[in-house]
Amino acid sequence: MIKYKRNEDRIIQGIQEYVDATYAQHYVSSSDRDVCDDWEDMGIAREAYMSNIVKYVKRFGKKEGENPKDIMKIIHYSIFLLNELEKGKKNDDD
């Protein structure tokens, strides 16, 4: 078993809980679509994810102080961006 030095296991579990909670929030409409689906349809998903990462990095420590939720949003948008990169890689392999 890996002994984590910086609570990575607990933090990763917290990230999973945060992401799971977003699917129960207002971000997803009754049609099961969210704004990310729209960004993907428009071909601007990567740019939108990067701009949101920058937004929350710049906001951290200012709005509501050092709010851990801002870090969770950075991580979540980073996951979306990683997914876009993987989708691009799959298309390159086809």
Domain that holds residue 68: 8-93
For residues 68-75, average pLDDT: 95
pLDDT the model gives residue 59: 93
- The pTM of this model reads 0.85
Domain membership of residue 66 (yes or no) is yes
Q: CA of 40: how far to CAs of 2, 17, 76, in Å?
A: 37, 24, 16
CB 21 within 8 A of CB 69: no
**Percent of the residues in the chain that have a pLDDT greater than 70, as a whole number:** 94
Contact present, 69 and 25 (Cβ < 8 Å): no
Domain count, the chain: 1
Q: Is 53 contained in some domain?
A: yes
For 23-59, the pLDDT digits (tens) are 877 666 667 788 999 999 999 999 999 999 999 999 9
Count other Cβ atoms within 10 Å, centred on residue 2: 6
- Domain annotation covers residue 63: yes
Which stretches within 28-67 are classed as H helix? 35-42, 45-59
